[in-house]
Amino acid sequence: MNHDQPALDTRLLAPVSETLENLAFRETTLASFHWATIPVTAPIHGTLTVRFPATLLRDLAATIWNRPESGFDTTLLEDITAELANTMAGRILSALLPDSQPFVLGVPLRGSGALPPCGCTTAVCHYETDGRLFAVCLDGPELIDLANRQTPNNRT
Partner 1 sequence: MGNLKQHPTRILIADDSSTARMFIRRCLEIIGFRDACFLEVANGIEALVAVKEQPCTFVVTDLTMPQMDGAELLRTIRSDPAIAAVPVIVITSSGNPATVSALLHSGAVAVLPKPITPARLAAACQALPKPQDPPA
Query: Which residues are at the interface with partner 1 (CB under 8 A)?
Result: 64-65, 76, 79-80, 82-83, 86-87, 89-91, 93-94, 97, 99-107
Q: How far is the CB of 144 from partner 1 (least distance, A)?
A: 20
CB neighbour burial string for 90-101, b if at least 16 within 10 angstroms, e if fewer: eebbeebbeeee
Q: How far is the CB of 87 from partner 1 (least distance, A)?
A: 4
C-alpha of 75 from chain center: 17
Nearer to partner 1 by Cβ, of 28 and 136: the residue is 136
Q: How far is the CB of 124 from partner 1 (least distance, A)?
A: 21
Number of residues that make up the chain: 156
CB 114 within 8 A of CB 30: no
Nearer to partner 1 by Cβ, of 22 and 100: the residue is 100
Degrees to nearest 5, angle at CA 122 with 120 and 127: 150
Nearer to partner 1 by Cβ, of 7 and 42: the residue is 42
Q: How far is the CB of 10 from partner 1 (least distance, A)?
A: 31
Nearer to partner 1 by Cβ, of 109 and 144: the residue is 109
53 burial via Cβ count (<10 Å: 0-12, 13-18, 19+): middle
Helix 74-96 to helix 54-65 angle, to the nearest 10 degrees? 90
